[in-house]
C-alpha cells in the first residue's frame, strides 16, 4: 500500500517537471510575452475598420470641445482677456499686466499646451498612424481618406493654434512607442506649413455636408486654411480659401429671425447664440458647431477633480456675465437676487472701453449692439427692496464696472 502511494506521489512531480520543461522551451521564443488584448478598447483591436475609427474620431471631438469648455476657471478665457477687446473683471487678476503675470508658470500658459500635446495631437496621430496599418480594413481609398481628413483637420487646427500662441513648437506627427526626451522646437513657419498641409488634405477629402451635427465639413477646413495662409503671408491663397466658403452655396448671413426663441423679444443676431439654434438647418451661418448638451451622457465637457458632477454647464455666461446680484439699492440694501434667466455670473471677463463703447460710435444702433446682445441696463429684482422694478442708476448704486459692469 505504501509502495502504491509512493508511486502516486511521484507522478505529479514527474508531470510538473515535464510542464516546466515545456514552458522553459516555449519561453525561449521571443513572442511568448506578446499580448493581444481583446477585452477592452485597445487600438490594435478597435482601429481595424471604419466603425472602430469612428469611435476614435469622436474622442478627438471630445478633446476639441475642451478648448472652450475644458474647465470652470478664468484660465479658460485667457485668449480673450488681455486683448484689445476684453479685460479682466474685478474678481480676476489674469493678464492685467503682461509684464507681471505672463510667465511660464501661469496656469493659462500651460492650459492649451497640455490640451494640445496630451489630448488633441495624440488622438489625431493614432488615427493617422493606424489608418495605414495592414490590419485596417477599408472598403476603398475614399473611405480611409474621409477618416484621415477629419483627424488631420483637427491636427492642423491644433498646430495653427499652437503657432499663434507659442510660436515655434515641437512637431509630433506620429504616436511615440518609446520614451523620447529630445524634442526640439520647429520654427513657427514650419509649424504653420505643417498645419497647412493637414488642412489642405482635409479640404480635399471632407464632405460638404456633416455626417452628424458637429462633424467637420470642407468649409471648416477652408475657413481655417484662409487663416493659416494669411499667417504664412500667402494672401492670394487666403482669398481663394475664404472664397471657397463664401461660394459654397450652403452658407450665408442670417437676415430673418429663427429658432427656439422666435416668439420672444430679440433679433436675428441674438438668435444665432440661443441654445439649440446652432444645429438647425435654418441656421445658414453655422459652419462647425461644437456639441454641448448639459445633463446628457457624454454631453458635458469637464468635471471637478473631487466631484465628477461639478460644473456641469457652459461656464461662458458665468465668466462673461456681470455680477449684477452684488448691486446694492440706493439705501445700501440688497437690490438684486440671482434669477434664472441671467444665472449667477462672476464677471471674470468684461469688454474694454473700446469694445463696449468706442467701436459703436459710428452706429450705436448696429444690431450687434442691441439690448439683446449688449446688456447695459438692469432693474432691481429683489422684491424686498423698496426700489423693486426700478431701473438701476449706476451713479446712485455706486457701481464699479469692474465688479458689476
225 and 341 inside one domain: no
Domain boundary among 198, 230, 251: 251
pLDDT at 309: 45
Same domain, 196 and 338: no
Helix H segments across 310-352?
Answer: 316-320
Domain-embedded: residue 137: yes
User: How many domains does the chain divide into?
Assistant: 2
| CB of 353 closer than 8 Å to CB of 383 | no
Q: Give bridge partners of residue 219 from the DSSP assignment.
A: none
Q: Which of 206, 241, 240 is nearest to 225 (CA)?
A: 241
CA angle 311, 316, 321 (to 5 degrees): 110
Dist. CA 345–CA 377, nearest whole Å: 16
Flag whether 162 is in a domain.
yes
Which of helix, strand or coil describes residue 287?
coil
Residue 355 CB neighbour total at 10 angstroms: 16
Neighbour tally for 370: CB within 10 Å: 14
Alpha-carbon gap, residue 159 to 254, rounded angstroms: 31
Which residue, chain included where needed, has cell 422694478?
389
Can you spell out the DSSP letters for 18-29?
HHHHHHHHHHTS
In this prediction, the residues of the chain whose per-residue pLDDT falls under 50 are 1-13, 15-16, 19-23, 305-310, 405
* Same structural domain, 337 and 211: no
Torsion of CA 201, 203, 206, 210, to 10 degrees: 150
Q: Say what the pLDDT of residue 299 is.
A: 72
Residue 276's pLDDT is 85
As a whole number of angstroms, the distance between CA 393 and CA 398 comes to 8
Contacts of 405 (CB under 8 A, 6+ apart): 89, 322, 347, 350, 399
Helix, coil or strand: residue 170: coil
Q: According to DSSP H, which parts of 28-140 are helical?
A: 43-46, 50-69, 98-101, 107-114, 121-131
In this prediction, residue 401 carries a pLDDT of 57
**Are residue 66 and residue 150 in the same domain, yes or no?**
yes
CA distance 169 to 161: 11
Last residue of a domain, one of 200, 233, 251: 251
pLDDT at 36: 67
What pLDDT sits at residue 2?
39
354 and 247: one domain? no
Which pLDDT score is estimated for 239? 98
Residue 188 lies in a domain: yes
Residue 278 lies in a domain: no
Q: Are 387 and 332 in contact (CB under 8 A)?
A: no
| Orientation angle between helical segments 141-166 and 188-205, nearest 10 degrees | 150
Q: Where are the alpha helices (DSSP H) in 301-392?
A: 316-320, 353-356
316, part of any domain: no
**What's the pLDDT tens digit per position in 331-368?**
889 999 998 777 788 888 888 889 989 999 999 999 99
Q: Look up residue 387 and give its three cell numbers.
A: 426700489
Choosing from 232, 251, 270, the residue where a domain stops is 251
* Domain that includes residue 152, residue range: 43-251
Q: Do 83 and 225 have their domain in common?
A: yes
**Long-range CB pairs of 316-319, under 8 A, 24+ apart, other chains included:** 316/68, 317/342, 317/343, 317/345, 318/72, 318/343, 318/344, 318/345, 318/346, 318/348, 319/74, 319/76, 319/77, 319/345, 319/346, 319/347, 319/348, 319/349
Which of 235, 214, 217 has its CA nearest to residue 226? 235
Residues 58 and 189 in one domain: yes
**Residue 186 · residue 118 · CB < 8 Å:** no
Residue 168, domain CATH? 1.25.40.390
Give a yes or no: residue 27 inside a domain.
Answer: no
Q: What is the pLDDT of residue 26?
A: 52
Amino acid at each position: 500500500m505504501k509502495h502504491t502511494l509512493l508511486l502516486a506521489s511521484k507522478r505529479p512531480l514527474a508531470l510538473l517537471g515535464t510542464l516546466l520543461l515545456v514552458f522553459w522551451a516555449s519561453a525561449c521564443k521571443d513572442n511568448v510575452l506578446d499580448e493581444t488584448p481583446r477585452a477592452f478598447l485597445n487600438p490594435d483591436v478597435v482601429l481595424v475598420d471604419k466603425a472602430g475609427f469612428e469611435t476614435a474620431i469622436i474622442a478627438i471631438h471630445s478633446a476639441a470641445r475642451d478648448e472652450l469648455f475644458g474647465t470652470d476657471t478664468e484660465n479658460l478665457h485667457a485668449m480673450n482677456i488681455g486683448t484689445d477687446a476684453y479685460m479682466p473683471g474685478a474678481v480676476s487678476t489674469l493678464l492685467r499686466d503682461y509684464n507681471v503675470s505672463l510667465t511660464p508658470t501661469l496656469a493659462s500658459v500651460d492650459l492649451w499646451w497640455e490640451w494640445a500635446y496630451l489630448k488633441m495631437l495624440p488622438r489625431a496621430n493614432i488615427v493617422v498612424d493606424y489608418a495605414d496599418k495592414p490590419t485596417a480594413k477599408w472598403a476603398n481609398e475614399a473611405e480611409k481618406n474621409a477618416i484621415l481628413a477629419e483627424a488631420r483637420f483637427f491636427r492642423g487646427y491644433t498646430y495653427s493654434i499652437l503657432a499663434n500662441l507659442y510660436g515655434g513648437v515641437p512637431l509630433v506627427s506620429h504616436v511615440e512607442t518609446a520614451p523620447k526626451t529630445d524634442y526640439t522646437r520647429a520654427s513657427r513657419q514650419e509649424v504653420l506649413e505643417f498645419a497647412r498641409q493637414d488642412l489642405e488634405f482635409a479640404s480635399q477629402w471632407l464632405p460638404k455636408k456633416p455626417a452628424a451635427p458637429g462633424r467637420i465639413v470642407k468649409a471648416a477646413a477652408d475657413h481655417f486654411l484662409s487663416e493659416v495662409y494669411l499667417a504664412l503671408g500667402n494672401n492670394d491663397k487666403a482669398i481663394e480659401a475664404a472664397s471657397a466658403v463664401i461660394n459654397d452655396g450652403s452658407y450665408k448671413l442670417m437676415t430673418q429671425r429663427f429658432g427656439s426663441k422666435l416668439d420672444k423679444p430679440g433679433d436675428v443676431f441674438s438668435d444665432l447664440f440661443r441654445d439649440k439654434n446652432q444645429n438647425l438647418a435654418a441656421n445658414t451661418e453655422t459652419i462647425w458647431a461644437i456639441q454641448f448638451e448639459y445633463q446628457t451622457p457624454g454631453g458635458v465637457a469637464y468635471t471637478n477633480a473631487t466631484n465628477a458632477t461639478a460644473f456641469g454647464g457652459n461656464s461662458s455666461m458665468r465668466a462673461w456675465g456681470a455680477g449684477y446680484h452684488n448691486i446694492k439699492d440706493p439705501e445700501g440694501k440688497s437690490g438684486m437676487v440671482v434669477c434664472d434667466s441671467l444665472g449667477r455670473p462672476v464677471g471674470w471677463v468684461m469688454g474694454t472701453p473700446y469694445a463696449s463703447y468706442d467701436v459703436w460710435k459710428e452706429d450705436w444702433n448696429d444690431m450687434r449692439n442691441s439690448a439683446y446682445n449688449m446688456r447695459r441696463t438692469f432693474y432691481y429684482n429683489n422684491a424686498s427692496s423698496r426700489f423693486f422694478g426700478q431701473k438701476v442708476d449706476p451713479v446712485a448704486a455706486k457701481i464699479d464696472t469692474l465688479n458689476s459692469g
